[in-house]
Structure 1
Amino acid sequence: MATTEQLTVDNGKVAQAWEEQLPRMLNESDTCKVIADEGDPNALRVNIQTGGHSDYNFDFKVSYVDPREIKVELVDVEQAGLHVDENTDIIQGLAEDYVRHLHECAQGVKNITNP
């Protein structure tokens, strides 16, 4: 069984770094919010709001497996404030893109998580 290595940096500081870095990874019309997960010192909560008319709102949990590697979980998707089926091709495609951007962001802040 794999063990999770604790981050040596406060997840509030990591969340702040993500908040600065992640918008650079997303489409210009997308917005995001990153907060430290209060229940898990190795995790962040990421909300991404798509730009344009689709009005999708994605919630992810990003957990640090170790100071270099993350695991991303799609927690919820809403459209115009209503829960939607996460298994449609459109949602899955968008989610895959966002997961890729989240991994890119983790690489962009590795100087903070893995000094």
Structure 2
Amino acid sequence: MSKTAQLTVDNQKVAEAWQMFLPRMLNETDTCKVVADEGDPSALRVNIQTAGRSDYNFDFKVTYVDPREIEVNLVDVQQGNLHVDEHTEIIQSLAEDYVRHLHECAQGVKNITNP
């Protein structure tokens, strides 16, 4: 992120907005938790847990490249308490869907990140 495009809003405030908005983007049975990344003031940590027997748990790092645009990185996927291969078709499909929802959420809170 360049100095001119830095996120000027406290990432804790951004995380709170995401926590309120993101559940509306997900399946109603999925749950999520959004927290400010303590090591990176322009990033959030997002955990999404799928409901049902699959019990997948996705961890994403969402970094603001500027006040309106985000970069999303899949950090980890677990099933129950076990790490799973992130390259399987089902995991990739779910991850792509969640990444799309994360971008939609960024657009939904842009009044906070780009006042």
TM-score by length of 1: 0.97
CA distance, structure 2, for counterparts of residue 73 and residue 65 of structure 1: 13
After TM superposition, the structure 1 = structure 2 runs for residues 91-102 of structure 1, keeping only pairs within 5 Å, are 91-102=91-102
CA distance, structure 1, for counterparts of residue 40 and residue 92 of structure 2: 26
After TM superposition, the structure 1 = structure 2 runs for residues 36-75 of structure 1, keeping only pairs within 5 Å, are 36-75=36-75
1:8-63 alpha-carbon deviations (Å, 9 max, x no partner): 10000000000000000000100000000000000000000001110000000000
Report the equivalent of 1:22: 22
Partner secondary structure for residue 97 of structure 1: helix
Partner secondary structure for residue 28 of structure 1: coil
Q: How many residues align?
A: 114
Report the equivalent of 1:112: 112
Deviation of 1:81 (Å): 1.0
CA distance, structure 2, for counterparts of residue 53 and residue 94 of structure 1: 15
Report the equivalent of 1:86: 86
CA distance, structure 2, for counterparts of residue 93 and residue 35 of structure 1: 24
Q: Percent identity?
A: 80
CA distance, structure 1, for counterparts of residue 53 and residue 112 of structure 2: 36
Gap regions ≥5 residues in structure 2:
none
CA distance, structure 2, for counterparts of residue 15 and residue 92 of structure 1: 25
Greater than 6 Å deviation, 4+ residue runs: none
Report the equivalent of 1:3: 2
Deviation of 1:3 (Å): 2.8
Partner secondary structure for residue 18 of structure 2: helix
